[in-house]
Amino acid sequence: MSKALVVGGNGFIGAHLVQKLVQIGWDVTVLHKYEQPRYSTMPDAVRFLRGDLTQESLLAEAVAGQDVVFHLLWTTTAIHEVANRDPAADVQANLVPTIHLMEACRAAGVGRLVFTSSGGTVYGRTQIAPIPEDHPNNPVTAYGVSKLAVEKYLQMFHHLHGLDFVVLRPSVPYGPYQNPLARQGAVAVFLYRVAKGLPLTIWGDGSVTRDYFYISDLVDALILGSTQPINSQRIFNLGGAEEVSLNHLIALAEETVGRKAVVTYQPARDFDAPRVLLDTTQAETMLGWQPKVPMKDGLAKTWEWMQDTIL
């Protein structure tokens, strides 16, 4: 039986990953400051440790004997502006604790560390699409800079200490358990606000595009990234098969909910990439991964969950 630690296992992505790992027979430990996921229940078989990466003794206990550590926790994931306003605090809250995690994994002889980076921010503003993994990295947000710094530290730890790692750069995952009351997470927010008749705020003219992909596809990639043999290629883009603009996403949300949206447009923000479409060829070739859930099906699944759980 494989043993895994999921750091941030009660978040949106983590809750789905934990459920899948338990389902396929893994021995799972969750390290998180919240005892339960927001919209689901942690499986009974999971060992839970309450805390964070700043607690040295707890961290050593968490990583001991683990085959795989999934690092999904990031304090400024919800609002990138938070990191931009105080980059030093972002480094202290995210980068420094992650380095402590790497040190603990090295000391404990962890089999592999899988890190969720950001395909939407580490590249910055790009001129080509789809974006390959070897595209220059010029992030324009503190969030993207910190994520990229973690990638570089992982490469350093691998070179100096032999720490096995995989970096996944997802575009925009969505699905059940995503908080519709947050400022990020366009799919959940759009569905909820359209259903409630609340206005949607679009920054710019709505032409910004992303390759959204369903949460189960991301979970598949995480598990493949933890188990597949890896050579020199350790960084993988993950994204959807469809490039969808915000305006088109509004239309899809209206179609799914059966109600017209109330939309207001505000000036574009200088830290929003106008286009994110990732080249996922490496993930397909090396991990055997590709997105399986079409956008309309994923929206329908998310809407069904939202009706049953929130509305």
Task: For residue 34, indicate whether it is catalytic.
Answer: no
Nearest to 217, CA basis, from 15, 4, 16, 5: 16
- Record the tokens describing residue 289, joined without a space: 């991964």
DSSP letters of 105-147? HHHHT-SEEEEE--TTTSSBS-SSSSBPTTS--B--SHHHHHH
DSSP secondary structure letter of residue 79: -
Which amino acid, 265? Y
Nearest to 73, CA basis, from 118, 14, 157, 149: 14
Among the listed residues 143, 192, 212, 214, the single catalytic one is 143
Cβ atoms of 279 and 132 closer than 8 Å = yes
Indicate the SS3 state at residue 165. strand
Measure CA of the first residue to CA of the last residue in the chain; give whole Å: 39
What kind and span of H or E run contains 9? none
- Record the tokens describing residue 267, joined without a space: 């000036």
DSSP letters of 192-235? HHHHHTPEEEEESSS--EE-EEEHHHHHHHHHHHHHS---S--E
Residue 206 Cα distances to 188, 189, 245, angstroms: 17, 15, 7
What is the distance between the alpha carbons of residues 214 and 24, in angstroms, rounded to a whole number?
A: 20
- Catalytic residue IDs: 143
